[in-house]
Structure 1
Amino acid sequence: MAYFVIAGKPDCEAFVHGVYVARYLEENLPHFKAHIIQKKLGDWEPWLEEINWKYKWHHSYSPLIWKELSMRGGIPHYLGGLSEFWEYCYDYYGLESIISPDDLHKMVEDNMQYFREIEKGEAEKHKNIRQIGIIGLYTDPILSAILIEMIEISDLRKSGGMKIKLYDIHGDVNETMEIVDDIIEDIKPYATIGNLDVLTVVEKMQDILTDCELLIVLGDYSRRDDEMETDWLIRNMSAMFMLSDEINVFAKRDLRVILALDGPVCFNASTLIDTCTSIRIQNIVAITSDVGLGPLKWAAKQANIRLEELSAPPVWGFIGINQFVDLRSAIICSDVYRPYQRVIRNKGGSTLPLGTIETELRFAAYLIEEPEKALETATSGRKKIKKHLHRQPMLAKVRSLISLLKLWYAKEPSDSVISLGICSNGSFGIPAGIAFSQPAILNKNLWVPFKNFPITEKTIQEISQLIPAVSEITEKMNVGPYSAASLPSYYL
């Protein structure tokens, strides 16, 4: 079987002539197959340069023709341009092709019209697909857990579905593809067959950011045992600088960035807010509510109530460096008996209802006597899990990320308040312009601080005690230069 690939520009006469002959041979020879690649003018040169680099060729014009041995995608054997293709066709098949200039010109016009229709159809199809990018280390088991739930979020898909592109900053593409194949096997029991083709591995950051609507950053950026704090922060800052450089060049204005990493997540988000000038800063968020999920279990145990009756407590701080989990402000769903007036007059024996049972939301402060003990127990438990697994616990982070995605992409606006690392606007006494974990709410599909969140004097004191260390770090590392007066007008 002879497999030929003919690549070129759709307005190139030599390319169109070669395609015409290849199609003729396909129809008349049972063992001749041709694959056609058309690249418009702006894409042709970069594509040709990449092919030359990949196969160590030195081709410089349209068309480029090669033969693949045994099967489509087999070992490529370089032929050259149209003249070399003619020579091959004459030697093997005794075929000569002569077309008048007028006929060839008409063929080029027809091909251009066909190419434009194909481009239009691809653009429409591409427009209706949600483009999602995930960067990080794929050996991290959090990826499988996230994908299992992400592909089942119906609101995350557009009418044409969704496409998830994966990029491993430090990995080899072939190794990454093998890992992704294993991940696909893992998620098969949880996903419909149609969802298994949503994953692709890309080789460059540009490939993941072009047309990307949602970017999720994973990975372990936590401090190493032998690492000084300054060196640790510089390492994290350098990684965010590299990411922001790519975002500023290739990303769309409305790109949403979610940092779901371990380590100084608010510091990293602050760095992106400082350096990403091409996207909205309210679209840069850091997962922080997972910090409150661990203590919640111990608080429920201490208060002798079911865990599902408690909502996650507010999480404040520069997560990864310092934080305060306000367990006393966790919300509990309580069943409250509300009697009618007839209870006062009832002398017994009445068959009429005497009241109703209603659900009421209350702060859990009156049930949690020792929040510090619950926080200490949760912290020590997390350290034990990390030591046993040789990695950070992941389930709380997965749960928080999926909850965020469901809120952010819900078809109906939500008034839910969640803890999230977002750009501060000065609320609660937090310095403006840095990413700080605090209660957040959606405003016109952008995350902003929920300044009306009720807090106690004790909470205000705890927040104020976090600020000096945060200010010292941001000043030392020259991060978060914004002030309330210098924030962009679209943010205020």
Structure 2
Amino acid sequence: MIDRGGKGLLLGGHNEFLEYAQLYYGVTSSMTTQMMMVIAQENLETHIGKELEKEALSDLINPLQVWITSASSPASYSLIPILISGEVFGKNTEISLTLFDQPKVENYLKVMVMETQDMASQILLRTSYCTKIEEAFRQAQVIIMLDENTEKEVTSLEDCLRSKVSLCRLYAYHIEKNAQESVRVIVGGKNFVNLKTILLMQFAPTIAHNIVAVAMGVEGQARAMVARKLKTTSSCIKDVIIWGNISGNNYVDLRKARVYGYDSAIWGPPNYSRPVLSLLFDREWIQKEFVMTLKNMTATGKLFGGILAAHSITTTLKYWYHGSPPGEIVSLGVLSEGQFGIPEGIVFSMPVKFENGTWMVLTDLENIEISGKIMNNLTSDLFQEKLVALGNNIIFQPYRSGNVFRYFTSLSYYEEH
């Protein structure tokens, strides 16, 4: 065997080699066959070593495969620049971005691909689009599910719920079939977020542990309202907890919320903070304006603006990959395993922290117990959504519990102070 330009050739004996060498190179050799075989073996080993080196280098520069569903939605325009900035996955992590949507918006996706390429991001290795469901999520490592675009007229709440089943079953099948085993799926937006997350888990059980729902949009709205009331910035408000249905019946819990750098008579170092409820003296505002404004903003179908949706998704992804700030509480929609007395089998927003590439429910938090009456109010609609969507119930029947606040305001705190 001889090696020429990285190609090998197997020959029979010494005479055959000499004839080939004379015809191909125009030269003859008196080298023995044994010596030629030694050289051929060395050439082969060198060639194999070079190929292995190429494969290793290829693995090093293999980009992170990121897919966005419903990519023609307005949120994508705010989402894409953040994803390719290096702030989410890291400045040294190259990514390949694929925009997935329906065939009817193909021309729109082409324009989005060109605009994304025009940004000349240093970490964006490839940008493409996909409109064929059978090709969806090929080698995906991160899948961002945005609210789907639909022009179909919704005749009833029940029809809308049932429509999520076919969508999630289709997506789940191709995720399990085409995506990488370690794929992370993050469901964002305001369109039955908890329901879509639990359906994906049910139809794609092999990756269920890596599917989450984003709750930071609701958290951001609550923090901003509190900040405006206290005349500070929303970044100074931390540890607001969102319980329950992200795009429906939920509670905004201020019992652990704290404000940092607050301009008052009491000052401290940068890490000094004060409980939010110790500074909110307007009980009527909490019970009425705060509750009703958030209720209206978080209702299903009331879309987040593109900026807030993109920020909440990318911040959650950043924490998932690099960890959340130490000691900070983050709200996340995850599958309940009975924590805090929450029934199993539903996706429920609850307090977590991100660490070492995963998330952990903060079951060790003190004084955040939820009464049975409030828990029923939180979980009933989630079970109803699931039962109606899967056809076990025909009609959606909202939970009625009398005069129950939809948001935690820690009334016991005011009674004590």
- TM-score, normalised via structure 1 length: 0.60
Q: Could you tell me which residue of structure 2 aligns to residue 167 of structure 1?
A: 100
Is the 8 Å Cα contact of residues 424 and 434 (structure 1) preserved in structure 2? yes
Do 1:418 and 1:441's aligned partners in 2 also have CA atoms closer than 8 Å?
A: yes
* Counterpart contact for 1:166–1:201, Cα < 8 Å: yes
2:322 counterpart SS class: coil
What is the CA-CA distance between 1:221 and the residue it aligns to?
A: 6.7
Give the 3-state SS of the residue equivalent to 1:194 in structure 2: coil
Q: Any conservation in 2 of the 1:130–1:157 contact (CA below 8 Å)? A: no
> Counterpart of 1:322 in structure 2: which amino acid?
N
Distance 1:457 1:266 in 2: 22
Displacement of 1:399 after TM fit?
1.6
| 2:244–2:348 contact (8 Å) kept in structure 1 | yes
**Which residue, 204, 217, 228 being the options, matches 2:145?**
217
8 Å Cα contact 1:324/1:463 also seen in 2: no
- Shift of residue 327 of structure 1? 3.7
Q: For residues 268-309 of structure 1, give each alpha carbon's deviation from its aligned partner in whole angstroms, at most 9, with x where no partner exists.
A: 000111121222x23101111211222322222223444332
Identity of aligned residues (%): 19
Look up the match of 2:71: 138
Tell me which of 306, 310, 317 is aligned to 2:237. 310
The letter for the 1-side match of 2:72 is: T
Quote how far apart the aligned CAs of 1:155 are. 6.2
Aligned 1:32-431 pairs, distance under 5 A: 121=54, 124-126=57-59, 128-153=61-86, 156-157=89-90, 161-185=94-118, 188=119, 193-195=121-123, 197-205=125-133, 207-220=135-148, 226-279=154-207, 281-311=208-238, 313-333=240-260, 359-368=271-280, 369=283, 370-372=285-287, 373-380=289-296, 392-410=304-322, 416-431=328-343
Ranges in structure 1 where 5+ consecutive residues have no aligned partner: 1-10, 14-98, 104-109, 340-354, 481-492
**The residue matched to 2:337 in structure 1 has which SS?**
coil
Give me the whole-angstrom Cα distance separating, in 2, the residues matched to 1:196 and 1:248.
Answer: 25
Provide the C-alpha distance between the structure 2 equivalents of 1:333 and 1:445, rounded to a whole number of angstroms.
27
Counterpart Cα distance in 2 of 1:290 and 1:169: 26
Report how far residue 222 of structure 1 moved: 9.1
Q: Which amino acid aligns with 1:309?
A: C
1:123 positional shift: 6.5
The residue type paired with residue 385 of structure 2 is I
Counterpart AA for 1:176:
L
Q: Distance in 2 between matches of 1:201 and 1:475?
A: 35
Deviation, structure 1 residue 264: 0.5
Q: Distance in 1 between matches of 2:336 and 2:324?
A: 25
Moved more, 247-256 or 262-271: 247-256
The 2-side partners of 1:472 and 1:380 are apart by 21
For 2:401, the equivalent position in structure 1 comes to: none
In structure 2, distance between residues paired with 1:225 and 1:262? 18
How many residues get paired?
A: 354
The 3-state SS of whatever aligns with 1:278 is helix
Where 1:438 maps in the other structure, the secondary structure is strand
Question: Cα RMSD between the aligned structures?
Answer: 4.2
Q: 3-state DSSP class of the match of 2:209? A: helix
Distance of 2:93 and 2:355 partners within structure 1: 27
Per the alignment, residue 378 of structure 2 pairs with 466
Q: Is the 8 A contact 1:138 1:176 kept in 2?
A: yes
- Alpha-carbon separation, structure 1, partners of 2:253 and 2:323: 31
CA distance in structure 2 between the partners assigned to 1:237 and 1:223 by the alignment: 18
Change (3 A) 1:311 1:472: same
Q: 1: CA distance between counterparts of 2:294 and 2:150?
A: 18
Offset at residue 364 of structure 1 (A): 1.3
| Aligned twin of 1:442 | 354
Cα distance in 1 for partners of 2:77, 2:313 equals 13
CA distance in 2, matches of 1:246, 1:240: 10
Of 209-218 and 417-426, the range deviating more from structure 2:
209-218
What is the CA–CA distance in structure 2 between the aligned matches of 1:120 and 1:357, rounded to whole Å? 53
Cα pair 2:223 2:240 within 8 Å, conserved: yes
Q: Aligned AA for 1:452?
A: D
Q: Which structure has the higher relative contact order (CA within 8 Å, separation 6+)?
A: 2
Could you tell me which amino acid in structure 1 is paired with residue 203 of structure 2?
T
Provide TM-score, normalisation by structure 2: 0.70
Write the distance in 1 (CA, Å) between the matches of 2:391 and 2:198.
7
Would the alpha carbon gap of residues 321 and 193 (structure 1) be closer, same or farther in structure 2, given more than 3 Å must change?
closer
Segment of structure 1 superposing worse, 418-427 or 172-181: 172-181
Gaps of 5+ in 2: 1-6, 10-19, 25-42, 393-417
Q: Could you say if the C-alpha distance between residues 200 and 375 of structure 1 is closer, same or farther in structure 2, counting changes exceeding 3 Å?
A: same
1:381/1:317 Cα in 2 relative to 1: closer, same or farther (>3 Å)?
A: closer
Q: Distance in 2 between matches of 1:310 and 1:454?
A: 19
Letter in 2 for 1:474: K
CA distance in 2, matches of 1:272, 1:426: 20
Q: Deviations over 1:225-265 (max 9, x none)?
A: 74312211111121110011112212222111011233001
Secondary structure of residue in 1 paired with 2:363: coil
Cα pair distance change 1:158/1:303, threshold 3 Å: closer
CA distance in 2, matches of 1:393, 1:289: 13
Tell me how far apart the structure 2 counterparts of residues 114 and 260 of structure 1 sit (CA, whole Å).
49
Aligned counterparts of 1:334 and 1:356: Cα–Cα separation in 2:
8
In 2: Cα distance, 1:158 partner to 1:303 partner:
36
Decide whether aligned partners of structure 1 residues 159 and 306 sit closer, same or farther in structure 2, where only a CA change above 3 A counts.
Answer: closer
Q: Which residue of 2 aligns with 1:20?
A: none
In 1, Cα distance between equivalents of 2:85 and 2:223: 27
Give the CA deviation at 1:381.
6.4
Distance across 2 between alignment mates of 1:336 and 1:302: 13
Tell me which amino acid in the other structure corresponds to 2:343: P
